């Protein structure tokens, strides 16, 4: 198997520990020799934190992995690759999809073996579980926030109606879709007048059934209420 080694040490670690780049290289070389793997090179990231995924050496390893120039990536310890469990899972999933094995000398972790693949699957499941939990919490928090919206003084905003005998605002999906289009056009640099012309050309009516004008668009893009109902909406505030 063609192997590529990866070594890293942060500036602080260089000062406080004996985990030098040379020490990591020697242990990786001995490990590959014992495995009868052909070590093509050892890529290094000296003085860089494991929390940064944009390390030049790491990106070089990933490029070679994607081109299938190697069969296995070898590090001395898992934290040489990254200190983030989330990033580790992402990297290992990438190795697996590319058909490239990953081995950590000190952690006795090797995805070219059955046990290593089992650990990889467990890590992937834990990572997916974490994403699902975060998604559920976000969805529940958003639902609670929406439920608390009440009508304030003045007209009912475009995109909403009110529940019978109450002051709770209820979303009107088709109108909120229009707000989403307005937000998208603003992100692409369209002026208020240009957006009004587009909506009129499309035959989209205002809340009162009239034609759109720049002032009507301005009221919408400055209303922070839409941030809770329209993905990607960012209020422009008062200018």
Q: Which residues are catalytic?
A: 10
Q: Largest alpha-carbon pair distance within the chain?
A: 79
The CA-to-CA distance between both ends of the chain, in Å, stands at: 62
Query: Per DSSP, which regions of 70-225 are E strands?
Result: 72-75, 101-104, 109-110, 160-162, 169-171
**CA atoms of 122 and 216, how far apart (whole Å):** 53
- From 200, 199, 152, select the one nearest 178 (Cα to Cα): 199
75 with 38: CB under 8 angstroms? no
Q: Are strands 38-46 and 2-9 parallel, antiparallel or unpaired?
A: parallel
Helix, strand, coil fractions of the chain, as percent rounded to 5: 50, 15, 35
């Amino acid at each position: 198997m063609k192997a590529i080694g990866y070594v890293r040490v942060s500036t602080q670690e260089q000062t406080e520990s004996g985990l030098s780049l040379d020490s990591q290289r020697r242990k990786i070389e001995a490990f590959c020799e014992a495995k009868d793997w052909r070590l093509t090179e050892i890529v290094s990231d000296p003085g860089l934190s494991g929390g940064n995924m944009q390390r030049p050496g790491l990106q070089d390893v990933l490029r070679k992995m994607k081109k299938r120039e190697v069969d296995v990536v070898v590090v001395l310890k898992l934290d040489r690759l990254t200190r983030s469990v989330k990033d580790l899972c992402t990297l290992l999933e990438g190795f697996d999809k590319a058909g490239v094995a990953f081995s950590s000398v000190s952690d006795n972790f090797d995805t070219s073996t059955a046990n290593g693949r089992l650990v990889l699957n467990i890590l992937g499941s834990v990572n997916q579980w974490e994403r699902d939990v975060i998604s559920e919490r976000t969805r529940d928090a958003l639902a609670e926030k929406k439920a608390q919206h009440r009508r304030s003084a003045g007209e009912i905003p475009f995109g909403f109606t009110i529940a019978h005998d109450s002051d709770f605002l209820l979303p009107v999906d088709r109108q909120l879709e229009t707000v989403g289009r307005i937000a998208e056009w603003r992100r692409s640099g369209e002026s208020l007048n240009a957006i009004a012309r587009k909506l009129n050309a499309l035959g989209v009516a205002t809340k009162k059934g009239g034609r759109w004008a720049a002032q009507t668009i301005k009221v919408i893009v400055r209303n922070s209420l839409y941030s809770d109902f329209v993905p990607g909406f960012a209020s422009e505030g008062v200018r």
